[in-house]
Amino acid sequence: MTTLDCMRCHSPMEKGFLADASHGGVYQARWCRGEASPNWFGAEVKMQQFESAVTTVSYRCPKCGLLESYAPDPKKH
């Protein structure tokens, strides 16, 4: 995906990422298969889910603000 137009207003979208804050710093958000289990700290993710997680890429329309997120296959990129 090199260029992407907004589905809503057809303006060119900007590529970026969703930042995920943690006690150890800021990370790029990842997509995990399955469901997270809520717990006191937020959500519990099984190690198997995290090991197969895929880094996400997001696009934002500067005109209307629409966000589109994708989790491209790392083996193909």
Residue 20 lies in a domain: yes
d(CA 39, CA 51): 20
Distance in angstroms (rounded) separating the CA atoms of residues 16 and 45? 25
Instruction: Confirm whether 75 is domain-assigned.
Output: no
User: What pTM, to 2 d.p., does this model score?
Assistant: 0.72
pLDDT of residue 60: 96
pLDDT at 13: 96
How far are the Cα atoms of 38, 52, 73, 74 from residue 2, in angstroms, in the given order? 36, 25, 15, 16
Segment-wise mean pLDDT, segments of 10 residues, the chain, 77 residues: 86 92 85 81 75 89 95 77
Domains held by the chain: number: 1
4 lies in a domain? no
- The range of the structural domain enclosing residue 66 comes to 14-70
